[in-house]
Copies of this chain bind each other. A is one copy, B any other.
Amino acid sequence: MYNLRKALEENKLLEIKVKLNEFNPVDIANLLEDLDHEETLKAFRLLNKDLAVEVFSNLSSEKQQQLIEATSDEEISRIVSSMFLDDTVDLIEEMPAGIVSKILRNTSPAHRKLINQFLKYPDDSAGSVMTVEYVALRTDMTVKDALAKIRKYGIKNESVSDCFAVDKERKLEGIVPINQLIINADDTKIADIMTDNIEKVEVDSDQEYVAHLFRKYDLSNMPVVDKEGRLVGIITVDDIVDVIDQENTEDFQKMAAMNPSDKEYLKESVFALAKHRILWLLILMISATATGTIIRKYETTLQSVVILAAFIPMLMDTGGNAGSQSSTLVIRGLALGEIKTSDIWKILWKEFRVSLIVGIVLAGLNFLRILCFDKVELKIIIVICLSLFFTVVIAKVVGGILPIIAKKLHFDPAIMASPLITTIVDACALMIYFSTATILLHI
């Protein structure tokens, strides 16, 4: 990568100007992140106007704030008016009050009104991920009118391959791929070349549902309408990629027993990180006490055959791992829509059979291992291996169906992941272990 800092120190301004303007705005933004305040300003001012806007959109909020503080009102006005509306809204949500008022002071009243409207859409709604940079065509226009409109106003968002057909009340009627405007004759009516069987969502639809539609229908963009069916924005698939990443991150966090947070790890404060983690650790810690109670109940058993304690970690860990495997597959299947709650009996039957195979193999190998390497009575080995087998079976069945039950009860299935399953399976494992021991060893 280009050594921008060195070039700035040597004051090679012309070289920097030429070089930077050849780069992708995302890469330039990354380069600027590593510079100090003075250097950032110096480099930013060397960018061409259009490129500057794109680079600005890709900067971290700290850098954006620095730049706005050091920038004249005119320049702010120019940058903000050229940014995509969704980027402007993100910017305003991140900035402190003083900076926000500096930005809003420099936007036109119409633009300000739009921004305010966008700020009202709830987080995670279609409204919060949509953008307004699209081409709307009236259904009664001809191809010639449409082309004239596009030539006059341009297409701000070049990655959108469709225009959107609306009636006089701006009600969404259909989609017109841009290439239809190229291949059809000038006097063709938009109404005749539009596709009217289209997927759309309302502004307050959940973004996870929107992502589901994009996946299901392989969409590259989707119109967003208000309660009356009027077109208010579009969602492009590159924003859906971000939504998918965000939803997956949330699932990973929930499955590791944390409150989800969409902030990057390195940018989150130590207190926030601790706060997200403590509650679940506490709940699970107290639940694990139940497992302790089981051990206390069998204190005398344990005192007479203390070797039994040595195999508790192996039993608990294997049970927990076996259960987590099953719950993870089912949670993921539910998230991708590959598994429905009505599949519960299929899953029960499948996990039962898988657990028989896995249980027999693990118990068998464990039997041989202890027999060969440990000095343990045969009776006790049998207790250990029988317990292991039953633990694996219960773990897999419980791990497989608890996420489905959670979903049926309208909880997030992701909470039924490794930590909670482990706690439940631990209790089962010890109960099986000690009752088998009491019976077989006649204690």
Contacts and interface: CB of A to CB of B under 8 A. Distances in A.
A14 interface: no
Nearest to A270: B353
A179 interface: yes
Given A179-B155, A252-B332, A295-B312, A354 B273 contact: yes
Contacts of A426: 313, 317
Given A265-B338, A299-B306, A312-B312, A281 B318 contact: yes
A362 B241 contact: no
A22 B179 contact: no
Contacts of A285: 314, 317-318, 362, 366
A229 to B, nearest CB: 18
A221 B197 CA distance: 25
A154 B179 CA distance: 8
Interface string A46-62: 00000000000000000
Interface in A213-232: 214-220
A282 B358 CA distance: 10
A321 B220 contact: no
Contacts of A183: 150-151, 154-155
A241 B243 CA distance: 11
Interface in A277-305: 277-278, 280-282, 284-286, 288-289, 291-293, 295-296, 299, 302-303
Interface in A191-222: 197, 199, 214-220
Nearest to A292: B310
Contacts of A16: none
Nearest to A147: B182
A423 B317 contact: yes
A338 B349 CA distance: 41
Interface stretch (A3-11, A33-41, A166-174, A322-330): A322-330
Contacts of A182: 147, 150-151, 178, 181-182
A330 B327 CA distance: 22
Interface string A183-195: 1000000000000
Nearest to A352: B270
Interface string A135-169: 00000000000010011001100111110000000
Interface residues of A, number: 117
A309 B310 contact: no
Contacts of A181: 182
Given A237-B241, A266-B346, A418-B418, A311 B292 contact: yes
Contacts of A22: 197
A322 to B, nearest CB: 6
A244 interface: yes
Contacts of A242: 215
Interface in A245-296: 245, 248-249, 251-253, 255-258, 264-266, 270-271, 273-274, 277-278, 280-282, 284-286, 288-289, 291-293, 295-296
A302 B305 CA distance: 11
A246 to B, nearest CB: 10
A307 interface: yes
Pairs A-B, 6 closest by C-beta atoms: A161-B161, A256-B328, A291-B313, A159-B220, A274-B357, A288-B314
